[in-house]
């Protein structure tokens, strides 16, 4: 196998199971030293298990059981990477939780918990890595920093029953655009990945879609997204930043995001009468919106 990440050190959050675990194993297989982050609970330590699996295969890994929505936890992650492996070259913000509920029944705690892990956690670790790489750049050291944030189809298109999760993942996509512009001058790229995969969060929610069929290509295998992620975190991908990619089975999409669409220019301030007269034509010429997930039009309806 190609040693695409040989000599590089990566921090991967939420790496004890599902997508994060697949990412960690892929990175290690390509030569990266991996800081595996996840929380231990109920007598289980999935991050330690992944780190042990990597080390048993001849790789280098260490586990850190800290909350990435906490500044002290993020500082511990970075300090551990530097202490154990000498540096950090890539950060994968993958940790996530769900607190699904229809909007009218959602509690403030359910909203805040999702925002804390997804948005606050992504911000804190990105900021910590960026500060380290900026200091290195200012000291004249070469920097090849890579940040990949995990968004979701729910964030790009919306999903019924996931107002909190959809908002957080949409926020991550926008955060990625801004961070890419701000940090590029220091040798840092920032991209986002929108994986479609079978995880603990999706296996029951979309059971019909996620269940593998024996003898057929498993389009929802979490490992499908890992090769693209590994490449984005390599030195080869230094020219790619501010992009969002979707992986669906054997397909890779470059998501194009918001663009100004059709327009009508009256050359003056509109009146309510203008709106009433012109809006039907404007909407008729507009490209239809992507269907929100969970609707019949999307073809992906929760079981």
d(CA 93, CA 121): 8
Q: Are 233 and 176 in contact (CB under 8 A)?
A: no
Going by C-alpha positions, the residue among 191, 253, 204, 256 that lies closest to residue 224 is: 253
Question: From the candidates 63, 69, 166, 169, which is the catalytic residue?
Answer: 169
Residue 169 is a catalytic residue: yes
Locate all alpha helices (DSSP H) within the chain, ordered by sequence: 18-29, 46-56, 71-85, 108-115, 121-138, 153-157, 163-183, 207-210, 226-232, 272-285
Query: Is residue 186 among the annotated active site residues?
Result: no
- Catalytic (active site) residue 152: yes
Catalytic residue among 69, 152, 166, 194: 152
Q: What does the alpha-carbon distance between residue 75 and residue 251 come to, in Å, rounded to a whole number? A: 36
Q: Classify residue 298 by burial, with Cβ atoms within 10 Å: 0-12, 13-18, 19+.
A: middle
Catalytic residue, chosen from 165, 166, 194, 234, is: 165
C-alpha to C-alpha distances, 73 to 10, 38, 186, nearest whole angstrom: 16, 11, 25
Known catalytic residues are: 152, 165, 169
């Amino acid at each position: 196998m190609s040693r695409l990440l040989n000599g590089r050190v990566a921090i991967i959050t939420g790496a004890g199971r599902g997508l994060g675990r697949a990412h960690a194993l892929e990175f290690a297989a390509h030569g990266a030293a991996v800081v595996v982050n996840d929380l231990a609970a109920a007598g289980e330590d999935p991050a330690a298990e992944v780190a042990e699996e990597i080390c048993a295969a001849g790789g280098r890994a260490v586990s850190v059981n800290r909350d990435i929505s906490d500044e002290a936890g993020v500082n511990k992650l970075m300090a551990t990477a530097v202490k154990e492996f000498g540096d950090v070259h890539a950060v994968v913000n993958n940790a996530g939780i769900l607190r699904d509920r229809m909007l009218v029944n959602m509690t403030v705690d359910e909203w805040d918990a999702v925002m804390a892990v997804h948005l606050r956690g992504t911000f804190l670790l990105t900021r910590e890595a960026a500060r380290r790489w900026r200091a290195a750049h200012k000291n004249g050291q070469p920097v090849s920093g890579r940040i990949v944030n995990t968004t979701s189809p729910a964030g790009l298109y919306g999903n019924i029953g996931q107002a909190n999760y959809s908002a957080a993942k949409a926020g991550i996509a926008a955060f990625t655009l801004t961070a890419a512009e701000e940090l590029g001058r220091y040798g840092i790229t920032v991209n986002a990945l929108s994986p479609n995969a079978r995880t603990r969060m999706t296996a029951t929610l979309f059971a019909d879609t996620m269940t593998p069929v024996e003898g057929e290509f498993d389009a929802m295998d979490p490992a499908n997204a890992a090769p693209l992620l590994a490449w984005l975190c390599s030195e080869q991908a230094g020219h790619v930043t501010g992009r969002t990619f979707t992986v669906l089975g054997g397909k890779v999409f470059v998501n194009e995001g918001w663009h100004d669409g059709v327009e009508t220019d009256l050359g003056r301030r509109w009146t309510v009468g203008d709106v009433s007269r012109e809006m039907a034509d404007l909407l008729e010429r507009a490209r239809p919106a992507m269907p929100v997930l969970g609707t019949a039009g999307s073809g992906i309806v929760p079981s």
